[in-house]
Amino acid sequence: AAGVIQSPRHLIKEKRETATLKCYPIPRHDTVYWYQQGPGQDPQFLISFYEKMQSDKGSIPDRFSAQQFSDYHSELNMSSLELGDSALYFCASRWQETQYFGPGTRLLVL
């Protein structure tokens, strides 16, 4: 069965650089969620999109932005990266109540 696809899987950036993370939801899933997971922590909700419109917003820094495109894939743009942005970033797509998570992008900021 098709799963959520995220790219890249690993990313290394310098402080103050920008990063773009991509998410391809499971076909026919119309809602995408982004979560950030620090080392040894639980995933924290960042932002979500339904039918290409932002549907909810969590603890997402102003330096981050995201959007969902006409083909339903989503991108998380992160600017002025800080050391504390190093984390796993997960995308999830939703069918009915259930959210299905991708494999994540591991971001390391040096």
Partner 1 sequence: GENVEQHPSTLSVQEGDSAVIKCTYSDSASNYFPWYKQELGKGPQLIIDIRSNVGEKKDQRIAVTLNKTAKHFSLHITETQPEDSAVYFCAASTTNFGNEKLTFGTGTRLTIIP
Residues in contact with partner 1 by CB under 8 A are: 4, 31, 33, 35, 41-45, 48, 50, 55-56, 58, 90, 92, 94, 97-104, 106
- Minimum gap (Å) between residue 16 Cβ and partner 1: 27
CB of 50 to partner 1, least distance (A): 8
| Shortest CB 15 distance to partner 1, Å | 24
Residue 84 has phi, psi (to 5 degrees) of -70, -5
Burial 57-87 (b: 16+ CB within 10 A, else e): eeebeeebebebeeebbbebebeebeeebbb
Complex with partner 1: residue 45 or 86, whichever CB lies closer: 45
Tokens of 3: 């799963």
